[in-house]
Structure 1
Amino acid sequence: MIRQNQRFLTQIYVLADLSCTLLTFLLAYWLKFNSGLFQHQYSLPFKSYLLWATVFSFASILIGFYVRFYAPRRRKNFSYDTMKIIQVQGLSFLGLLSLLYIAKEVHISREFLAIFLSINVICLTIYRFAVKQTLFRLRRKGFNKRFILIVGAGSVGRSFNESIKMHPELGYEVIGFLDDFQTEHDREYGYMKPILGTVDDLEAVISHRTIDEVIIALPLKAHKKYPRIIDQCERAGVKALIIPDFFDLLPARPFFDNFAGIPLINVRDVPLDELSNQILKRIFDIAFSLAAILITSPILLGIYIGIKLTSPGPVIFRQERVGLDRRTFHMYKFRSMHVFDQSTADTQWTVENDPRRTRFGSFLRRTSLDELPQFFNVLVGHMSVVGPRPERPYFVDQFKEEIPKYMVKHHIRPGITGWAQTNGLRGDTSIHDRIVHDIFYIENWTFLFDLKIIVKTVTKGLLSKNAY
């Protein structure tokens, strides 16, 4: 039977979250009204603040259950927890503001509310991170284990077993396999884990061993055995999970989708397909690009004057690029070359010591300042601050035939900077390596990942020896 520790852990998390929220309330109240750091006028008495803090605490717990914040997260990374904390706290705060408006609590301190929300998010994030790291260490030492039985000792089952061994911090242990072809698999793969019997022995193995989950990794030709295996697992209270036989053909992160009530396997999990993630990224893009344009406006003006004084022609260079969903758009850059036939720019790479560059243009390209007008592309929705770099249609038609999975990059908006660029893959570098990095970014996108790329771009990605 599955050990019933998840309910207990959920209760601990709920109590810890409530305690953390109420303690941060006390800290925020002290900072605002007793520390002397902030000025304050007439406000509500302490008991009123405590009442609303309690309402906020319980609301965050209810919303947490609604958005599955307290669901088992053993397989989730910490960035997922962080986004859930921000989601829960943000929704709870909006609910609190609504209640304050309805109750006409006009004298509550807005500074206090801002301090309380900020400290609460920070404290929850720190304590959840500490808990996760503690659990990782305990699981590496053999505590809090969950035991797995793999039905199917072929290539799919073997790959799953190897993946489990690579992540001991998750706390899973494979106790063995069941397969009808024990001799053949033992000879072919030389398993470290034993083949405990045939598929027909499943019920007996479950009864005599501690097993939490059964992973079904049988070939499609054995699909007639699936109903019986699933039925035996459910009668024993053991979770059953299926790895499709065509798993090896799928990308790293496929997932189940639903269309008109029919389950579908989506062959690639793209986090930015979710509306909430799209909205978050778009809001950040608009805010960041507006801030960047305002901050760099003196630089923009200086570059404008520099181009006008050093070479005849337009200041802005417009070039067709392929973006989201393979739609084309015009990307803006400061002109860094002498005016020449547009078809040449669309079909030729820039090379080292390219004679087409102006002297001022060489400086712009070396420092990446020629990319600044692309923040206007971000504002109108053609691009994002972070994403795969867009390419010209001529080269897209060429690369899609030569580079495997090249067109996957067009599942999301292209970016001014990206994971490939911050790893030195720009200019005259491997297109294949760039696509590997772009696909990794697409499949592993998080808001924190975007921030990491931006920080890396600012700290070490602006100057590049490959930027011709």
Structure 2
Amino acid sequence: MNNRNEWNGLLRVCVVLIGAVLSIACIYLSFYLKFGTDIPTRNIAPFSEFYIWIMIGFVVINLLFGTYVFYNKQVMDLFYTTMLSQLVLTFYLMALSYAGSWLSFPRSVILINFFVSTLVIFLYNFAIYRLYQKVRGSKSVMVVGKSERALEAVKNFESMGNRRHEVTHAVLDNYLYHIKALSDEVDIVYLTGHIKESTRLEIYEYLMKSNKKLFISTNFENLMMVNPNIMHFEDESIIEVSEFKISAEEGLIKRMIDVVISLVMLIVTSPIMVVTAIAIKLDSPGPILYQQERVTKDQRTFNILKFRSMTQEAESTSGPVLATSNDARVTKVGKFIRSTRIDELPQLFNVLKGDMSMVGPRPERPFFVEQFAEQNPYYRLRHHVRAGITGYAQVYGKYSTDFNSKLNFDLLYIKNYSLTFDFKLMFQTLKILFDKVSSRGVDETSDNRSNRWSDYEDRMKIIQ
């Protein structure tokens, strides 16, 4: 097949820099909309002298939001990301003008610029997004593996709204033979796991020699090899498998940042919490805060704090159960604060206390931890770090994602941990506030996708 050009890092840097220049043009346009052609020098002078810092802010904010990572975005995702990045840039401009004592920099221009730049930058991002689709093109995928796991992979690809990857082949048996026969018909081969090691190594060797793109699943064996340390002893090179933990030095810095951010957010969100507390008290009888035992680092249990969103006796007879859609136990106020994540705000006190971090695996209840650990022996590895208010699984997964898939996200987070990664996940958490899927109950997010291979026969080659 013809190889299409890739969307590489250099192209992305160029696109971000052009966007930064465009953001400066938007501010000039905002000055024009405010003052017309007669812009006072005293008002525009501070901006003209320090526009480089505005460009740096644009670049950093958009990199943290992942605005120009297009591979799994839809148009609405692009709009939300653009709007939120411009909102953060607006606050950055306000802070910059205050720190630089630019008292003559009009606040009205900053407000006008938010609307102007959101529109202009979105149109620019949309044009780049369409260009990306044209340059990158749709990729055909061959899914390889046992029937049940391969079917699950096909369903996941089918659920992607942007259709960037199309499954055209599914190989369910005699893997190497069929890959050799059919790999020229696809762009990507995806091994879903549960393939005998000797066969898997032969497949790797063939695909590497054929220069064919390979996807592999995040089973534990593959996760172990993420972020290895390379060592050299005389003329021998050795790969040291890194542990599923965060170093003591990184952990200390992470803790200091958690304390600062939680304090700032408690101050900023205090009016919201006061209003929420009053609304809960007026809506239904019972306490304002809800405490529930959860598990955090080193298997330690703690009481997580949430605004109460259910009736007082929600689990008095049923015992521990997962929330479902249209749950009768959820109050009227509860539905709103759950959908907007306001119910999670009291967890900032848990972060301040040290039970949780701003970013990390979401804490589970001991009842479910025991269940999951029995089904997956690697489940407790996620407790090598503090539980978090948000995490990798919350940003990139869905509420209905099963615990094994969430575990893979959590272990990838630990393996790939960096301070930059934490900030990126915190920024991208803002986007999912607009995604109602991630706040639904388990049955509401279940889909009607087929569980039978026969329903896919007209769309792909299925080789059994």
Q: What is the TM-score of this pair, normalised by structure 1?
A: 0.49
Q: What is the TM-score of this pair, normalised by structure 2?
A: 0.50
Larger Rg: 1 or 2?
A: 1
